[in-house]
Amino acid sequence: MSHSAEHHVTGPKTYAAVLGGLLLLTIITVYASYLDFGSMNTVVALLIASMKGALVALFFMHLRHDKFNAVIFLMGLLFLAIFLIWTLFDINTRVTVLPTNLKAPVQAFPGAPLNKPVRPSTGQPVGTPHAQ
């Protein structure tokens, strides 16, 4: 009784192309961190990270050759996306709650500068350059 399993060999050119894609997406990630997309900051970051994760899963985990595990992986991503979308819907409906005692300084959220306007999406003070 012989088992004939098809083995796929990925060449070095393919791995070099994947490396180039991952490096390019990393550069895009760094560049996007300096831009303010408003409430879409999280969505943009997750999209870029998903593309990098897909490259790793397809080529390094060999899911492009294994259909069953690829379906399981994609279903996991689908459910993760559903849960994140509902979370983002909830975050977008929140309003700032001001304290009833206005003698205390107003702080947008922990870590935000006191009595200074901040970007709601990042918590960085408005008018200052992006801090790493």
Give the confidence band of 132 by pLDDT, cuts at 50, 70, 90.
Answer: very low
Q: Is the pTM of this model over 0.85?
A: no
Residue 118: phi and psi, rounded to 5, are: -130, 155
Q: Which two tokens stand for residue 132?
A: 């790493």
Q: Is 125 helix (H, G, I), strand (E, B) or coil?
A: strand
Report DSSP state, residue 118.
B
Let me know the angle formed at the C-alpha of 108 by 104 and 114, rounded to the nearest 5 degrees: 55
Q: What average pLDDT is seen over the chain?
A: 79
Q: What is the pLDDT of residues 6-39, one digit of tens each?
A: 777 888 999 999 999 999 999 999 999 999 888 7
Strand ranges (E), 1-132? none
40-82 residue pLDDT tens = 888 899 899 989 998 999 898 888 888 898 889 889 889 988 9
Q: What is the DSSP letter of 96?
A: P
